[in-house]
Structure 1
């Protein structure tokens, strides 16, 4: 069995199209077609259904893809480990980071590069679901993430610090002048919130359901995070959600959390790794630096990123 045929198979399976796979690999379509045919002949199996729209994995092909993808990840990690040994453990670090911890990551990365100036770093900004998918696919070494997603047998997690989520408004919001604020009062307001696929948004919606209230009136909705729009919260009576660390940051100035248990969600942030994956010396050193420093311990940048997960 040829290794290049397996690579052709994986590329076609992932793109679902012979033309896109050939462009991705820099190979001709006839080369990919012959490679897939050789592989199917050697296995004695039909791996794809050829359709007018592209290449669709058969049931057997899908099972073979899952196994082969895991083998490819393991091979890539073996190559990386050998290169790390050859280069004196310099290596490459690939990190997934939610937007609201980009400043924290940058500060830790600066510390890392002072000690390992020859190291290379690749950073992917995204939300937990996106980052976990990339981590499972072997495209990332680790994620800095909220540890509220179930990890099952796929991931290992190491807690770093607490960073609770709060419902917030501008300091002069009319609700803060009430003698007693109830959660139902928040249902009378308009909101800036991330879209429903974001965990924090689902938490808010669930809290409304728990109190028998209709869904919040969301007038501004983001596909990533609402705290990139904190400036709007400071100048209007809109409500939103923000982490405790973002409120301590310069970008959280002029905002105030509601003093209610129902307006707060306890939350732990930590490192997530793929279980059983190769952890290079560079990755281990980065994790050690994360464990030694919390966001509040590090100097804030001159122009902070106000986005948040």
Structure 2
């Protein structure tokens, strides 16, 4: 069996975009080139790859599991090429780490200091962002691993390393009228104004889910942020009646001065923090050493 790598890339592009035209535009090649590649693959493999219709192209049942395996193999090949390139360019000592800003001081810095002591030639390239954005970067291969809140359902291509629990709580200023209610209920929060992350962020969806389960409309968000964390916005909570979010560890630090957690069980969200890395990629010795250091400091 002789298969051209370009043909495989064309197949993956059509599966991703659903149309030959879109795949050709994305790859910068002609539509006939992609059509011919698909014919070669179907002839070589002996089964049809796509259902073709006026609305687009869909993988056949036989091609679907094949597509998933090819994706992993292609990703592994890209990683192997990168590793060889890194060796050639002397970049073997580069580790790309994504970190949620909540865990820079508590998790990342101690391990990075120890790594620098043990591997003084090691170089770190950092990305700070929200959990969701870090995991997108990890899937895309832009970082080697990330330190963040672990998703409730971990993608099959990722391996989690659990480190610690850091629950999220609803917080208000310590003079907020809600704190005077003897037995606070979720419905008491219905008419309040909120400071929350964008609706694409997991914790926002969890909050809205709890309101929906209670038959309540979603929180009325008057301040929304879509990058980083709300840490720099804490003065808005402290000096207004906005309801916001904060990790328990942050609330118990100097950053939580002037704020209190609402005494509401439904306002507490269990969050596990850990490391994620791609199990389809080649984990360098430097990355493995860093993971061991982080895990050892929190085991």
Q: TM-score, normalised on structure 2?
A: 0.73
Q: Structure 2, unaligned stretches of length 5 or more?
A: none
Q: How many matched pairs?
A: 291
Q: Residue 151 of structure 1 aligns with which residue?
A: 154
Pick aligned residue for 1:13 from 8, 12, 15: 15
Distance 1:151 1:226, change over 3 A: closer
The reply on whether 1:173 has 2:198 as its aligned counterpart is no
1-structure distance, mates of 2:106, 2:50? 45
Which of 191, 196, 203 matches 1:193? 196
Classify the secondary structure of the residue corresponding to 2:154.
coil
The superposition leaves residues 244-294 of structure 1 with CA deviations (integer Å, 9 ceiling, x where unpaired) of 244356654433222444432332201123446532112112223433567
Offset from partner CA, 1:176-198 (integer Å, 9 cap, x none): 3x273513443442222234543
Shift of 1:13: 2.8
> Structure 2: how far apart are the matches of 1:143 and 1:79?
22
**Partner residue of 2:251?**
247
Question: CA-to-partner distance for each residue in 1:127-167, whole Å, 9 max, x for gaps?
Answer: 34x55566456665333232351337554322222212111
Distance 1:30 1:138 in 2: 30
Residues 113 and 22 of structure 1: CA distance in aligned 2, closer, same or farther (over 3 Å):
farther
Report what 1:263 is aligned to.
267
Alpha-carbon displacement from aligned partner over 1:72-117 (angstroms, at most 9, x marks no partner): 1222344455566777882553444445446668746864567454
The answer to whether residue 231 in structure 2 is matched with residue 230 in structure 1 is: no
Q: CA RMSD in A?
A: 4.0
TM-score scaled to structure 1, two decimals? 0.71
Does structure 1 retain, via aligned residues, the 8 Å contact 2:93–2:121? no
Structure 1: tracts of 5 or more residues without a match: 295-309
